[in-house]
Homo-oligomer: A and B are copies of this chain.
Amino acid sequence: MISRRDFLYRAAAVGGTGLMLNTMSAWGMGIASRTSEPPALSGSGKGRKVVILGAGLAGMTAAYELGKLGYEVRVLEARDFAGGRCQTARKGFALTELGGEEQRCRFDEGQYINHGPWRIPLHHQSTLHYTRLFEVPLEVMVNDNDHSIVYLENGGPLARQRLRPAQIKADMRGHVAELLAKSVKDNQLDQQLSVDDKRLLLDYLAHEGQLDAGDLRYKGRSGRGYAVNPGAGMTPGPGAASDPLGFKELLASRVGNVYSAVQDFPMQNTMFQPVGGMDRIAKAFEKRVGRHIRYRAEVQSLRHGENNVTVTYKDTASGKLQSVTADFCLCTIPLSVLRMVDTDFSPGFKAAIKQVAYAPVGKIGLQMKRRFWEEDDQIYGGHVLTDIKGINTISLPSSGWQKKKGVLLGYYNYQTAAIEVSAMTPQERADFALAAGEKIFPAYRESFDSAFSVAWHRVQYNLGGWADWNDDSRKNAYPKLLEGEGRVLLAGEHLSYLTGWQAGAIESAWQQLARIHERASA
């Protein structure tokens, strides 16, 4: 049975995206393909056993779907809880990074940080399939807030100013629209544009840049914010307009490059988060497949033969070694960790595993005594973008609106910056975050309660935020790893083009469990 997605993919291969779009249109699908459901599998897995390594979302997805088909599933999970990176730090949550001291989260009841995945794009229908099926309540995660702040240390003439994205967007687009309108009026584009096109383009530019209808100049607009907001009576009455930022200053600051009129595919103005924390998804899976999970089971070795796979694991509580033998193994262990497991994979397969780099990623949650970003600055969610080294973004919570306290994300760093910051102690990381934040928010440091940080590359069972593919590894290692070896198949975000997203883990699991079922049914 061919899925709609497969059909479309083939249509694209044969007739280009035009044919595909026509097909989709004929199906009433508009621009989006519907890839929201687990593979529709028939038959039964009764009498077959699958050992699944890792109780993250990939592992639990496979356990859930294979379990429904009648397979005997056994999930080995090194931690004492399920979810993999789908974690939420709240009061009592403990983490000891490799070579680090133990952190125990001291947030107030009801406060938390999603220090792993933290947002669900609206078109990640696979993740949304399970939140719907398992009735995990969702709420909007404000991913783009034009009333937030951008703060650049290296912003040329606009350096170290608290700029609002709406200002920047309005003024950059306004000036650019004015410039292009001038070109059109001066007949400089007559080669490219017909008389009709010119008229329509001027009309569009006047709209897009909100140009003065008379001279097509940009003179500011309400959307950039007022100097004094409109209100009642005569004072403030209509409010007072604000002056646009100068075109040359904007250009020299390069701040226009921070935002784009269109976000990249996985990003949207609004995304979703589960009410109460991202781990509500993990808990929902765990409720359904928890009986198949062996916790504190650290995989030591894997041996596979023609008829079965044997996995030996250490019970980290007792230190005892135990084994599971199964017809198939679905391994969702991150490649960064798997490379260190004693396996009898072929040298080529081992080399493929080792070829994949993992991204150093750091995050810190800071509980604040007072939601000063809401109270003082009227910022309700979204990201404060900055070029302060090692920070990238200060992200404001999309829950607990108008309450007293809140936990914000104090930094979200990658690569070199993540490695540098993660070398600090938890206390030093908090200090580092506070020193940056107080440049932007006067009340930052005085409002600080407590912190919880993670450096995923230093977390024992992850050793990285996500698989960090490059062209070479995608070309050479990826197909090999997708294939698996013998009766061992791999799944996880790393085996998708949705790297680092929960949807990647789920969709990869869907693909690989379908292959297991196909082979088991053969």
Interface residues of A (CB under 8 A from B): 5-6, 8-9, 12, 16-18, 20-21, 24, 28, 30-35, 122-123, 125-126, 128, 131-132, 137-140, 142, 144-147, 149, 162, 164, 166-167, 169-170, 172-173, 176, 179-180, 182-183, 186, 188-189, 192, 196-197, 200-201, 203-205, 207-208, 210, 221-243, 248, 251-252, 254, 256-257, 260-265, 267-270, 272, 376-381, 398, 401-402, 442, 479, 482, 495-498, 503-504, 507-508, 510-511
Contact = CB atoms under 8 A, between A and B. Distances in A.
A367 B274 CA distance: 25
B263 A223 contact: yes
Given A17-B242, A257-B207, A223 B265 contact: yes
A221 B9 CA distance: 19
Contact of A33 (B33, B222, B224, B229): B229
Given A228-B20, A378-B123, A149 B496 contact: no
Q: Which of A229, A381, A479, A482 has the most CB of B within 10 A?
A: A229
A269 B144 contact: yes
Contacts of A495: 232-233
Contacts of A511: 232-233
Given A496-B233, A497-B232, A173 B240 contact: no
Contacts of A242: 17, 21, 31
A52 B498 CA distance: 59
B189 A179 contact: yes
23 contacts: A12-B228, A28-B376, A30-B162, A30-B377, A32-B225, A33-B229, A122-B378, A128-B402, A137-B401, A142-B270, A176-B201, A176-B205, A179-B180, A183-B189, A204-B254, A210-B260, A225-B265, A230-B498, A231-B503, A231-B504, A233-B507, A236-B497, A272-B380
A252 B200 contact: yes
Contact of A173 (B31, B262, B377): B262
B176 A180 contact: yes
A8 B228 contact: yes
Contacts of A442: 28
A423 B167 CA distance: 43
Contacts of A125: 378
A16 to B, nearest CB: 8
A180 B401 CA distance: 42
A504 B232 contact: yes
Contact of A264 (B203, B223, B508): B223
Contacts of A32: 147, 225, 229, 377-378
Given A140-B270, A254-B203, A33 B228 contact: yes
B269 A231 contact: no
A201 to B, nearest CB: 6
A79 to B, nearest CB: 24
A109 to B, nearest CB: 17
B140 A204 contact: no
Contact of A497 (B30, B237, B503): B237
A233 B263 CA distance: 25
A231 B496 contact: yes
A16 B8 CA distance: 59
Given A16-B243, A139-B401, 20 more contacts: A5-B231, A5-B235, A17-B243, A20-B228, A21-B242, A28-B376, A123-B147, A125-B378, A172-B208, A176-B204, A180-B180, A208-B261, A223-B262, A223-B267, A225-B265, A230-B265, A231-B504, A233-B482, A234-B479, A261-B261
Contacts of A230: 265, 496-498
A322 to B, nearest CB: 31
A165 to B, nearest CB: 9
Contact of A31 (B30, B180, B188, B225): B225
Contacts of A257: 203-204, 207-208
Contact of A132 (B186, B227, B402): B402
Contacts of A180: 176, 179-180, 183
Contacts of A17: 227, 240-243
Given A123-B147, A188-B183, A222-B265, A228 B5 contact: yes
A232 B398 CA distance: 29
A495 to B, nearest CB: 6
A267 B146 CA distance: 10
A235 B200 contact: no
Contacts of A241: 17
Nearest to A20: B227
A505 to B, nearest CB: 9
